[in-house]
Amino acid sequence: MSPRSWPTRTLRAGAVAAAALLTLTACGDGGGEGGDAASFPEDDISMIVPFSAGGPTDTVTRLIAEPMGEALEVQVLVENVEGAGGTVGGAEAAQADPDGYTVLMHHIGMSTAPTLYEDLAYDPQTDFKTVGLVTEVPMTIIARKDFEATDAKDLITYLKENADSVNLAHAGVGSASNLCGLLLQDALGVTFNEVPYDGTGPAMTELVGGQVDLMCDQTTNTSSQIKDGSVKAYAVTTPERVESLSDLPTAQESGLDLEVSVWHGLYVPAETPDDVVAKLTEALQAALKDQTVIDEMAKLGTAPVAEDQATPEAHSAKLKEQTELWAGILPAGG
Amino acid sequence: MDLFDNLILGLTTAFQLKNLLFCLLGVALGTAVGVLPGIGPTATVAMLLPITFGFDEPVTAIIMLAGIYYGAQYGGSTTAILINLPGESSSAVTALDGHQLARQGKAGTALAIAALSSFAAGTVATVAIAVAAPPLTAVALKFGQAELFSVVVLGLIVSIALASGSPLKALAMIVLGILLSTVGRDGFTNTARFTFGIPDLDAGFNFVSVAVGLFGVAEILRNLHDPQHSGRIVGAIKGLWPGREDLRRSVAPATRGTVLGSILGVLPGGGHVLASFGSYALEKKVSRNPKEFGHGAIAGVAGPEAANNAAAQTSFIPLLTLGLPANGVMAMIAGALILQGIALGPSVIQDEPELVWGLIASMWIGNFLLVLLNLPLIGMWVKMLQVPYWVLFPAIVVFACIGCYSIRGNIYEVLGIVVFGLIGYLLIRAGCEPVPLLLGFVLGPFLEEYLRRALIISRGDPMTFLTRPISATLLGLALVALVIAVLPTIRRKREVVFAEEE
């Protein structure tokens, strides 16, 4: 059975109530709010994060939820619906009422899920409308602190020559660090011994302890270890250097054809009216100009995207391009 | 002296009125949510985490989160003792003897001993963190995948001693538990295992479904089968407070539990789970009266509760000294701190001394508040046991189902309660104990992951477990434990054989 057949969040509030009552509630919601774009929004908006509270994606979501709510003059409530690499929350958002009152925050995983999950309950490209990109979190190539290579160029030479003996850690299949690791091997034309962990925390612990050699992960996860020297950092994976880690070269300036970031974006169900989407996009753009958002994102080693990226068009282009890219690189799932 | 200055700094921070209030609020909220059947510390912290997102000072946020964590842990022990429903794996052990004590009318004693042992362990572990954080972290980092695998093997073998019945049945239950834990999507290959194409099984069985089913529903079914039990849960209540004798008999187990828990808590992964199971096994081994275990041994409450709380405390060590979370709860707390703009890592202790020492001091204060809050409540909890069984248990199961459903909104997890209830009932009828099954279920994923990862890193060479000295030592200990666990049975069998020959 697919997750579609299970009650959505509206119903969940009354988990013990009778089914008939629940149906009434759902109809009530639909009738009252549906489609009237001119008056949108009249009620609080719920923003689904398909990952756990306190994680990097949750952090970013909570940052923009408040200023978006101010722009729309309602509350934007963040809900964590975690599980199965973000596909549980994705499925829930896909079948929500298409009225703009349920918004999904998702990251790069939206473009990898169709390849990784054969039985995915939704199609990211056709079951959703894109609202706009939010942030692109840079990634860093790091190694245990006593790793032989001295700088990025040296690292590239070393990795090519000693690929067989390198243990590459990542945070599990489909995680950002897994994706970056795959691109890195692709760019170098080598294969490392991949060691999957259950999340970034344990992977980082092992890297700090010197049990594995190499990892590529988001600045949100690696900045503090880089700054205090418990791991050795070589390069960032963005086209430009990252302000908070300005002495790290980009992979490209070091001669490695590698560009990847963990992009985040907002989605609504596909049937949502365009003018409702436009209002959400406008609110997103306003939130990304908020000084608190800019400052807090800087602390996480990232920044809001430029305004021309926080649009449905730029976002759907990104989703399409990335879905094709990952379909070619990732092993198909079961 | 540095340590002294640091502790003073910590105490001044923690005793600020605002921090004190949020510590109390955290402890109270944590207890209130944690006492719901089937909801353990991890779920409680996840649910209450967003409260702290709006705080201006990070130290207040972390103090409150720590309070929620301890509160939830204690709340979980309360349900384990009163109604035999552990909210998290670590309190499954407390349920063993704690609930037996409750049935004997000594629920008050068990609750008080649990609170006092936790407090004593918390006090010692707080000092341990202040003194020994850096060296302990250095030791923890020496533990690679091979060592962690060996720790889990040792833990599983030692826990066979947990079972009061035959070691063979205990082993079978552990293996069954490990098998159940393999259901779900495999993180190494993204392959769905034993899910029969049901996407809702992708994340595997939920601990709450398994625990509530095996312990709660199975118990109800057994009582339906066997109507003489179906009155009240407990006999006459024999006093709310532990007597001098109970206290005296708790001191040594609590001390041993504290030491064991403090060490295991620092290890990543299953350390805190092993702490309470390990302590129970240890107490049973050293006891002059091992037969008493499983039938209301006070040492079986004092030891594991102390170990559990000490481990909860020392699991902050890797977070504070390296910025590395030791378990899921710590990962959530780390996330909240990053949001507060704290750069976690070795330098955090220099950069944010108020935060670190304030937290350490508030751990102790939090434990103290927990005792103050809970001791007066014991009378109320115990009264709950006088509600007739046929009213109380269905109500508990309904609450457990609601709790289970509200965490992830997955109906399969509620159905899981029913299925595991039936399995638990059949197992009890067959004379098998559910505790080793639960232990296998909890530690199975660690066992598998550590094994596979160690072998990936060694490129398939199994000698890695024997050539690494720490790992080899742990496996050696496991072998010794196995021999000790099996010997009495062999001896008994030989006696039986000899008896027949005569």
Examine the domain organization and report whether A228 and A79 are in the same domain. Answer: no
Examine the domain organization and report whether A247 and A304 are in the same domain. Answer: no
B contacts of A15 (beta carbons < 8 Å): 402, 405-406
Examine the domain organization and report whether A144 and A102 are in the same domain. Answer: no
Cβ contact A206–B144 (<8 Å): yes
Distance CA A246, CA B345 (A): 20
Q: Which amino acid is at A281?
A: T
- CA-nearest residue to B46 within chain A is A53
> Minimal Cα–Cα distance from A317 to chain B, Å?
27
Instruction: Write the DSSP symbol of residue A331.
Output: P
Distance CA A80, CA A198 (A): 19
- CA-nearest residue to B47 within chain A is A53
Q: What is the pLDDT of residue B19?
A: 86
> Minimal Cα–Cα distance from A209 to chain B, Å?
5
Closest listed residue to residue A53, CA positions, set B109, B172, B407: B407
- What the block records as the tokens of A184 is 């890195």
Strands A261-269 and A214-218, by their bridges, are unpaired
Examine the domain organization and report whether A294 and A177 are in the same domain. Answer: no
**Spatial contact of A79 and B406, defined as CB atoms under 8 Å apart:** no
Q: Is the pLDDT of residue A36 over 70?
A: no
> Minimal Cα–Cα distance from A137 to chain B, Å?
15
Distance CA A62, CA B327 (A): 23
Last residue of a domain, one of A261, A280, A311: A261
Q: What is the pLDDT of residue B264?
A: 83
In this structure, chain B runs to a length of 502
Examine the domain organization and report whether A13 and A125 are in the same domain. Answer: yes
Cβ contact B341–A299 (<8 Å): yes
**Spatial contact of B74 and B34, defined as CB atoms under 8 Å apart:** yes
- What the block records as the tokens of B132 is 């020994």
Cβ contact A9–B268 (<8 Å): no
Closest listed residue to residue A100, CA positions, set A29, A49, A52, A51: A29
In this structure, chain A runs to a length of 334
Domain CATH for A46: 3.40.190.150
Find the DSSP H helices in chain A: 9-12, 19-33, 56-72, 87-94, 109-116, 152-161, 176-188, 200-208, 219-227, 274-288, 291-299, 312-329
Contacts of A165 (CB under 8 A, 6+ apart): A193
Distance CA B373, CA B338 (A): 31
The model's pTM is 0.74
Closest listed residue to residue B454, CA positions, set B441, B470, B478: B470
Q: What is the pLDDT of residue B176?
A: 92
- CA-nearest residue to A53 within chain B is B46
Confidence of residue A315 (pLDDT cuts 50, 70, 90): very high
Closest listed residue to residue A60, CA positions, set A319, A263, A334, A273: A263
Cβ contact A83–B408 (<8 Å): yes
**A334 in any annotated domain:** no
Q: What is the pLDDT of residue A3?
A: 38
pLDDT in tens, A167-214: 999 988 778 888 899 999 989 999 999 999 877 778 888 898 899 999
Q: Is the pLDDT of residue A140 over 60?
A: yes
- How many Cβ contacts (< 8 angstroms) between chains A and B? 150
CB proximity A19 to B under 8 Å: no
Closest listed residue to residue A198, CA positions, set B327, B207, B345: B327
Instruction: Write the DSSP symbol of residue B182.
Output: T
Q: Which amino acid is at A307?
A: E
Q: Is the pLDDT of residue A33 over 50?
A: no
CB proximity A53 to B under 8 Å: yes
User: What are residue A318's phi and psi, to 5 degrees?
Assistant: -60, -45
Cβ contact B46–A53 (<8 Å): yes
- What the block records as the tokens of B160 is 């066979």
Distance CA B186, CA B205 (A): 13
Cβ contact B408–A202 (<8 Å): no
- CA-nearest residue to A117 within chain B is B190
The residue of A198, A294, A295, A297 whose CB has the most chain B CBs within 10 angstroms, and thus the best one to mutate to test that interface, is A198
Examine the domain organization and report whether A128 and A268 are in the same domain. Answer: yes
Examine the domain organization and report whether A120 and A257 are in the same domain. Answer: no
Instruction: Give me the domain span that covers residue A203.
Output: 138-261
Cβ contact A224–B343 (<8 Å): yes
Q: What is the pLDDT of residue B268?
A: 64
pLDDT in tens, A220-237: 888 878 888 889 999 999
Q: Is the dihedral of CA B286, B288, B293, B296 positive or negative?
A: negative
Cβ contact B203–A84 (<8 Å): yes
Cβ contact B345–A227 (<8 Å): yes
Rg, chain B, Cα only: 22
**Spatial contact of A255 and A153, defined as CB atoms under 8 Å apart:** yes
> Minimal Cα–Cα distance from A1 to chain B, Å?
6
By Cβ distance, the residue of B144, B202, B408 closest to A211 is B144
Closest listed residue to residue A8, CA positions, set A139, A73, A96: A96
**Spatial contact of A26 and A59, defined as CB atoms under 8 Å apart:** no
CA angle B292, B298, B299 (to 5 degrees): 85
- 3-state class of B43 per DSSP? helix
61-90 in chain A: CB under 8 A from chain B: 62, 78, 80-84, 88
Below-70 pLDDT ranges, chain B:
1-2, 37-39, 53, 87, 134, 159, 161-165, 226-240, 268-271, 322-323, 326-327, 338-339, 341, 343-347, 385-386, 389, 403, 406-409, 485, 488-502
Contacts of B291 (CB under 8 A, 6+ apart): none
Examine the domain organization and report whether A39 and A148 are in the same domain. Answer: no
Distance CA A54, CA B340 (A): 11
Cβ contact B50–A78 (<8 Å): yes
Q: What is the pLDDT of residue A31?
A: 38
Q: What is the pLDDT of residue B291?
A: 79
Cβ contact A299–B202 (<8 Å): no
Examine the domain organization and report whether A231 and A282 are in the same domain. Answer: no
**A74 in any annotated domain:** yes
Cβ contact B341–A205 (<8 Å): no
- CA-nearest residue to B349 within chain A is A228
The residue of B42, B44, B338 whose CB has the most chain A CBs within 10 angstroms, and thus the best one to mutate to test that interface, is B338
Total count of domains within chain A:
2
Q: ipTM for the complex?
A: 0.71
> Minimal Cα–Cα distance from B192 to chain A, Å?
7
Instruction: Write the DSSP symbol of residue B240.
Output: S
- CA-nearest residue to A17 within chain B is B402
Question: Angle at which helices B167-181 and B469-501 pack, to 10 degrees?
Answer: 140
Examine the domain organization and report whether A67 and A119 are in the same domain. Answer: yes
CA angle B80, A198, B93 (to 5 degrees): 15
SS3 of chain A: helix, strand, coil, percent, to 5: 45, 20, 35
CB proximity A219 to B under 8 Å: no
**A9 in any annotated domain:** yes
User: What are residue B257's phi and psi, to 5 degrees?
Assistant: -60, -40
pLDDT in tens, B237-293: 666 677 788 888 888 999 999 998 888 887 765 667 778 888 888 888 788 887 788
Q: What is the pLDDT of residue A161?
A: 93
Q: Is the dihedral of CA A276, A281, A282, A283 positive or negative?
A: positive
Examine the domain organization and report whether A8 and A54 are in the same domain. Answer: yes
CB proximity A16 to B under 8 Å: yes
Distance CA B492, CA A207 (A): 49
Contacts of A129 (CB under 8 A, 6+ apart): A267, A268, A269, A270, A272, A274, A277, A312
Q: Is the pLDDT of residue A132 over 90?
A: yes
Cβ contact B190–A210 (<8 Å): no
- Long-range CB pairs of A31-34, under 8 A, 24+ apart, other chains included: A33/A97, A33/A99, A33/A101, A34/A97, A34/A99
In chain B, where the domains are located: 2-232+244-501
By Cβ distance, the residue of B192, B323, B409 closest to A224 is B323
Question: Angle at which helices A274-288 and A56-72 pack, to 10 degrees?
Answer: 110
- What the block records as the tokens of B169 is 């049945």
Last residue of a domain, one of A241, A261, A281: A261
B contacts of A12 (beta carbons < 8 Å): 405-406, 409
Examine the domain organization and report whether A58 and A153 are in the same domain. Answer: no
Cβ contact B190–A206 (<8 Å): no
Q: Is the pLDDT of residue A264 over 90?
A: yes
Last residue of a domain, one of A212, A228, A261: A261
Q: Chain-centre distance of CA B368, in angstroms? A: 20
